[in-house]
Amino acid sequence: MARHIIPETIERAEPREVRIGTPVRPLALSLVLSLRPYQWTKNLIIFAGLIFGQRLLDPSAVLVSLAAFAVFCGLSGVVYLINDVADREADSQHPLKRFRPIASGQVPVNVAIGTAMVLAVVALAAAFRLRFEFGVVAAAYVSLLAFYSGPLKHVVIIDVLTIAIGFALRAAAGALVLGVAIGPWLLIDTVLLALFLALSKRRHELVLLADGATSHRRILQEYSPYLLDQMISVVTASTLVAYAIATVSPEIIQKFGTDKLGLTLPFPLYGIFRYLYLVHQKEGGGSPSDMLLNDRPLLACVGLWAIAVISVIYGPG
């Protein structure tokens, strides 16, 4: 198969060929893309502590939360670099992932590893400077997800649970950096929703890659579309029930001084059903971030939910 050689500046770092069809970019740009900034929307869960901790109207708390968001964006970039280095051979067989900068050869492995190490040190130093407890959770997050890139992603069920725990650590970090209490209901809902997204992604990979799925991701041989559909059904129901119970619980009503939070239930109902529609009817689900940003009804639903929640919590009782 015809191939073209990568630019000289990259070739000196690690001689290898770039996959045909890959856009030729400067090394710096390819490195930035390897950090996957388009997926940093996952870190927006950091702001849950700001909103539900009733600190949204406090300018200093907003600035701290923005700094915490930046830290986790940096740590997410570290995780993506480690993951792409570990998966570069498997990704090269994937119809879409083969064009990622590391899998395609535009970012040398030694450059990616070096960048990950520097970025991890800087981000963790900033995390501990913000608040010690926040730094501990940030370190736990990057350690867990780095471990996921190794053995954990090859253990059935544990692989998706690890992803879900990563989201829960983000939510916990957003509360800890402000020193506000975080209720177990927020962590439970976060874990369940993250499980829903992770299982949907596994299903998308199985359907998209068909017979080649297991050669791309070995753990996929432990799953089947039917099994994943059963799991998704359980998690979908659990997520909605947990959210409904939490919003009308005496603890939440007392904390926010209102029983109107239950009125926001139609938004997660529609959002989850819309996501299932995109997964089953439009063969989506490969990237939750892409689906959120590219599907206008889903994006509008999330935006309206946020507005409704803020209005209930910060509005007149």
Mean pLDDT of all residues in 167-177? 95
Q: Who wins on pLDDT, 182 or 126?
A: 126
- Quick one: pLDDT band at residue 30, thresholds 50, 70, 90? confident
The mean-pLDDT minimum among 117-131, 181-195, 277-291 falls in: 277-291
What is the per-residue pLDDT across 253-277, written as a single tens digit (0 to 9) for each?
A: 998 989 999 999 999 999 999 999 9
Q: What is the pLDDT of residues 271-286, one digit of tens each?
A: 999 999 998 887 776 6
Give the rounded percent of residues in the chain with a pLDDT score beyond 90: 57
Average pLDDT over every residue of 235-247: 94
User: What pLDDT is recorded for position 16?
Assistant: 46
Residue 8 reports pLDDT greater than 50: no
Residue 10 has pLDDT above 50, yes or no: no
pLDDT band at 177; cut points 50, 70, 90:
very high
Closest-CA residue to 279 (of 165, 164, 202): 202
Q: Radius of gyration of the chain from Cα atoms?
A: 21
Whether residue 59 has pLDDT greater than 80: yes
Domain residue spans of the chain: 25-182, 183-317
pLDDT at 13 over 70: no
Measure Cα distances from 219 to 106, 156, 160, 224 in Å.
27, 6, 11, 11
Domain 25-182 has CATH 1.10.357.140: yes
Q: How many Å apart are CA 155 and CA 226, to the nearest integer?
A: 19
Mean pLDDT of the chain: 86
Residue 176 has pLDDT above 90, yes or no: yes
| Beta-carbon count within 10 A of 317 CB | 8
d(CA 200, CA 223): 12
Distances (CA, A) of 316 to 169, 186, 248, 258, 260: 32, 23, 17, 9, 11
